[in-house]
Amino acid sequence: MVRKKLSSVFINSVGLIITLGIAFLIAIFLIFVLSSTPARTIYYFFIGPFTNKYYFGNMLNTAVPLVFTGLGIAIAFKSSIFNLGGEGQVYSGALIATVVCLSLPNANGYLGGALALISGLIAGSVLAGLSGFFKMKWGTNELISSFLISGAVVLIVNYFITGPLDDPGNSLLTTCAIAEQYHLLKIFPPSKLNISTFFGILSAGLVFFLMFYTHWGYEMRMCGLNREFSRYGGINVSTYLVMPMALSGALHGLAGGISILGTYHMCVKEFSFGMGWNGIAVALIAKNHPLGVIPAAIFFAYLDAGAKAAMLHSDVTFEIAAIVQSIIFYLVTAQAIYSFIKFRKRAPA
């Protein structure tokens, strides 16, 4: 059994490495076709994020919210619940955290910051938990409900940012900046990397423990494999339609709150665009393993940082960099989705 499992892990790892190799070769080919300085572009696309502390630190900082969104999706997927509302959950968590900080401008930074993060966490949890509740109560498809709720929430948050909470003294569409005592401590200047990195690592460890070393995690995984079997085995399946979704949303909301306190210090309109969707890809690449989410998030952040470095230091435009980046994203994600579907088909048997 152990040998078979190790063999499966080895095959999946080799498959991912081959996919990465093909994706990078295609990316290099596209750069040669689209850039007049291909050598320089290739250098900055693949090596650029490591050329100085600023690029490297910001790359790691970009990965932090993806760790939280990836963990949130991994929890949902492990219980065969699908959360497509990550965008709205991150965004609402960010707005609520900002409002709490703005409402308490003179509060203690530690207490006020903790309250802001908890408030953002609760906001994301409620939004996602609604979809889980609808599925439990009326059998509503959580794919549709979570996506629709997210779409509505994004518009509502945009209204508050550009309306009642807009900062008239800022040329950006943003709220006022939060007080300095709420800023998370930077650990790798001059980059924006801050102590939220440790929160991400700690969260991955806690989710790993929750999934694989607790009774709740065992029941959740059993429900994810086969709900009917779990029901006959005495597991309260309804609980695992709501709780994993609520926990998934909580991690998304926390990602939004940490982004405000650690990086942006104000809620900028649509700053979180892509975090929710990229979290899905991160979880798929990690095969829904909490510890695998960390390197998967760093990989996504590396591609983003490479594209930005190539735009700054060579002749490629945003569109060309986005095409190259997307090719790698799609191939790697497609390989992960194929492995995920193959596992799901095999699991009930």
Average pLDDT, integer, range 326-332: 73
pLDDT value, residue 349: 41
pLDDT value, residue 122: 97
SS3 of residue 175 by DSSP? strand
pLDDT value, residue 333: 67
pLDDT value, residue 150: 95
pLDDT value, residue 337: 61
pLDDT value, residue 98: 97
Does a structural domain hold residue 90? yes
Does a structural domain hold residue 326? no
SS3 of residue 208 by DSSP? helix
Tell me which residue range forms the domain holding 119: 62-303
Q: Is 177 left (phi over 0), alpha (psi -120 to 50) or beta?
A: beta
Does a structural domain hold residue 43? no
Structure token pair of residue 228: 């009917």
* Comparison of pLDDT for 305 and 18, the residue scoring more: 305
Q: Which residues contact 81 (CB under 8 A, 6 or more apart)?
A: 132, 135, 142, 224, 240, 241, 244, 245, 248
Average pLDDT, integer, range 119-147: 95
Q: Which backbone phi and psi does 247 adopt, to 5 degrees?
A: -70, -35
Q: Which backbone phi and psi does 194 adopt, to 5 degrees?
A: -135, -175
What is the band of 176 on the pLDDT scale with cuts at 50, 70, 90?
very high
Does a structural domain hold residue 51? no
pLDDT in tens, 213-271: 999 999 999 998 888 888 888 888 989 999 999 999 999 999 999 999 999 999 999 99
- Name which of 253, 198, 252, 191 is nearest 54 in CA terms: 191
Does a structural domain hold residue 13? no
What is the band of 102 on the pLDDT scale with cuts at 50, 70, 90?
very high
Global model pTM greater than 0.85:
yes
Does a structural domain hold residue 220? yes
What is the band of 4 on the pLDDT scale with cuts at 50, 70, 90?
low
Average pLDDT, integer, range 93-99: 97
What is the band of 348 on the pLDDT scale with cuts at 50, 70, 90?
very low
Average pLDDT, integer, range 309-321: 81
Helices 275-285 + 293-313 axis angle, to 10:
120
Average pLDDT, integer, range 75-83: 91
Look at residue 73 and tell me whether its pLDDT is greater than 90: yes
What does pLDDT average to over the chain?
Answer: 88
* Comparison of pLDDT for 258 and 323, the residue scoring more: 258
Distance of CA 153 to the CA centre of its chain: 18
Structure token pair of residue 177: 């900046």
Does a structural domain hold residue 18? no
Its sign, for the CA torsion 318, 298, 74, 88, is negative
What percent of the chain shows pLDDT beyond 70? 90
Question: How many structural domains comprise the chain?
Answer: 1
Does a structural domain hold residue 34? no
